[in-house]
Amino acid sequence: MPSATKTFQPATNITEAYNAVNPEQPLLPGDPRYVDCSPWRGDEHIVNMIARRIIRAEAARPVQHLKQLLAGHRGCGKSTELLLLKEKLEQAGHLVVYFDAALEIDMNDVDYADILLAMMRQLDL
């Protein structure tokens, strides 16, 4: 995957455009290929909205247990947005556990215990 530090060259034809896109790899924060689509969605940037909800829920007394769902078709940018959210929350002083669940969990047989154990393994690294 091209890193955000490399010089970005726009594609000049359909073959170059196709080869530049890999839906298996999320874009890292700062990647020049990232396009903020919030102006076309009609609301604020999803990362800012979720980050604000997480920070406010944590600051509430008693602490609110917040659940967020980010859904979309394969390759639409969910992981890219989550990496942006991770960076924003870390900058605000939060500990973020981010990992590829498909590499840690049998996606055909998932329960809460599997997810919690996978998260604990990440904290142990």
pLDDT in tens, 5-50: 467 678 899 888 877 777 778 889 998 888 888 788 777 788 999 9
My answer on whether 61 and 111 are in the same domain is no
H/E element, 15: helix 14-20
User: For the stretch 52-76, what's the b/e string if a residue is b when 16 or more beta carbons lie within 10 angstroms of its beta carbon?
Assistant: eebeeeeeeeeeeeeeeeeeeeeee
The token pair at 46 is 């999803």
My answer on whether 80 and 102 are in the same domain is no
My answer on whether 45 and 83 are in the same domain is yes
My answer on whether 121 and 68 are in the same domain is no
Q: Which residue range is the domain that position 103 belongs to?
A: 97-125
My answer on whether 101 and 118 are in the same domain is yes
Do 89 and 81 form a contact (C-beta atoms < 8 A)?
Answer: no
The token pair at 30 is 């700062």
My answer on whether 109 and 80 are in the same domain is no
Q: How many domains does the chain have?
A: 2
pTM for the model stands at 0.72
My answer on whether 86 and 103 are in the same domain is no
My answer on whether 64 and 118 are in the same domain is no
My answer on whether 60 and 90 are in the same domain is yes
Q: What percent of the chain has pLDDT over 90?
A: 23
